[in-house]
Amino acid sequence: MVDTSAPSRVIDGVRAARVVRPESADDVAAALREANDAGQAVAPIGGATQLDLGMPPTRVDLALETSALDKVVEYEPADLTVTVEAGLRFSELQKLLSAQGQFLALDPPVDDQATIGGVIATNVSGPLRFSSGTARDLVIGTRVANPAGTLTRAGGRVVKNVAGYDLNKLYVGSLGTLGLLVELSFKLAPIPPATGTVAGAFADLDAVSSAAAAIVRSSLSPLAVELLGPGAARAAGLAEQYTLVFRAGGYPQAVDRQVRDLGTLVTNHGGQALETSDTLWDDLARLRREAQQRDIVVKAAAPIATSTALVRLLEKTLEGREATVWAHAGNGLAYAACDAPVTADTLERLRSDVAGLGSNASLVIQRCPTDLKREVDVWGDPGSSLPLMRALKTKLDPKNTLNPGRYVGGI
């Protein structure tokens, strides 16, 4: 285990008193047990790319970094499964898999430093969630270091093994508040032999809504359906209009048919077909990564049918701030990124307007200045689920050792 006494991690203004970088799962468990017994607070850290997410921690006595846990434990290409340590970089995992014509069907807006454990703990995703789902759909097994110093497994290393499967889902998106992921198993997908892209520009959001609804109702099955606001479309090198971008994948003949039919659907709903470059999806990934580094980043969720309404709300509320707005139009998620100043009142008003779109509609502030977090809860109201979440936290981390204060409801 590497132990450095020089404080080198700051989370929302709270500086870690000590940093350790364990070199094995056993070392992680030992470090957790020592901190737990001493009543110290531990902040799990992967690639340190998502430290702005969540509320400020109440304290950080120990920053526990997983970057040294970077090994491939088991890879079975024939079974389309892989098991890796949590500190392996996400980009390195995809590179390894691509050599066998496979990939993990996640495309989150993260940089090369992001670890696979961090991606899962923060539950970030991208356009491929339309066809492949999120991390909860792809994780088939976990190994977790618990605050008491034990290592436990859930699920397994093969897709048909469902023992403890639901427990895996507890750790996805839990921000390291229930246990520290040290190993993960995934089901994989073959890289499509061919892909194609269709982009259409629309004069207004009503036309976009009509086209997007037609896609969802049709027999077409694109890999991704993205909606770009005018600013985002311009940044991606497209027309400065509301733009729908579709990605098709599969065997060449099937892709050709999908591209043709998607193009027809766009024009039938008043859209103008756009020429696209071979690098468009790389450009969109870069756009999302850069947007995530702006002062304010919000994620809004509502029923799929309200995707365009979400975009309209975000644009209207953040008007004049040169906001970048985009949406996973087939999933009911929309994002906006802009620079400060944005007041707490503005964000609360936006949250209220989003909530008006449906019973499960919500808004999470993924990034904002620490001072603003003292005025507004970035997670919002968790509703009736909070007592259950607190009970789980108490059961799995009774001394509140892991990331105290950062998660929903101050967990």
Cα-Cα end-to-end distance for the chain: 29
pLDDT over threshold 80, residue 158: no
Kind of pairing, strands 224-228 and 272-274?
unpaired
pLDDT tens for 288-311 read 999 999 999 999 999 998 999 999
Q: What is the C-alpha to C-alpha distance for residues 19 and 334, in angstroms, rounded to an integer? A: 36
pLDDT over threshold 50, residue 335: yes
pLDDT tens for 83-115 read 999 999 999 999 999 999 999 999 999 999 999
Upstream peptide bond of 398 is cis (omega within 30 degrees of 0): no
Q: What is the pLDDT of residue 2?
A: 52
Question: Mapping DSSP to helix (H, G, I), strand (E, B) and coil, where does residue 313 land?
Answer: helix
pLDDT level of residue 336 (50, 70, 90 thresholds) = very high
| DSSP-H helix ranges across 20-134 | 25-37, 90-98, 116-122, 129-132
Q: What is the pLDDT of residue 95?
A: 97
Average pLDDT over residues 271-287: 93
| Per-position b or e across 288-306, b if 16+ CB within 10 A of its CB | beebbebebbbbbbbebeb
Average pLDDT over residues 165-172: 81
pLDDT over threshold 60, residue 162: no
Q: What is the pLDDT of residue 3?
A: 59
Question: Mapping DSSP to helix (H, G, I), strand (E, B) and coil, where does residue 47 land?
Answer: coil
Average pLDDT over residues 315-324: 94
Percent of the chain with pLDDT over 90: 88
Provide the strand spans (E) within 251-384: 272-274, 296-301, 324-328, 333-338, 362-367
Percent of the chain with pLDDT over 70: 96
Question: Max CA-CA distance within the chain?
Answer: 66
Q: What is the pLDDT of residue 160?
A: 58
Dihedral over Cα of 376, 383, 140, 143: its sign: positive
> Which residues lie below 8 Å from residue 95, measured CB to CB, with a gap of 6+?
none
Q: What is the pLDDT of residue 165?
A: 47
pLDDT level of residue 1 (50, 70, 90 thresholds) = low
Q: What letter would DSSP give residue 284?
A: H
pLDDT over threshold 90, residue 166: no
Average pLDDT over residues 175-189: 97
> Which residues lie below 8 Å from residue 355, measured CB to CB, with a gap of 6+?
361, 362, 363
Residue that is written with structure tokens 């503005």 in the block? 346
pTM of the model: 0.93
Contact between residue 336 and residue 287 where contact means Cβ atoms under 8 Å apart: no
Average pLDDT over residues 354-366: 94
Q: Which two tokens stand for residue 31?
A: 């470090």
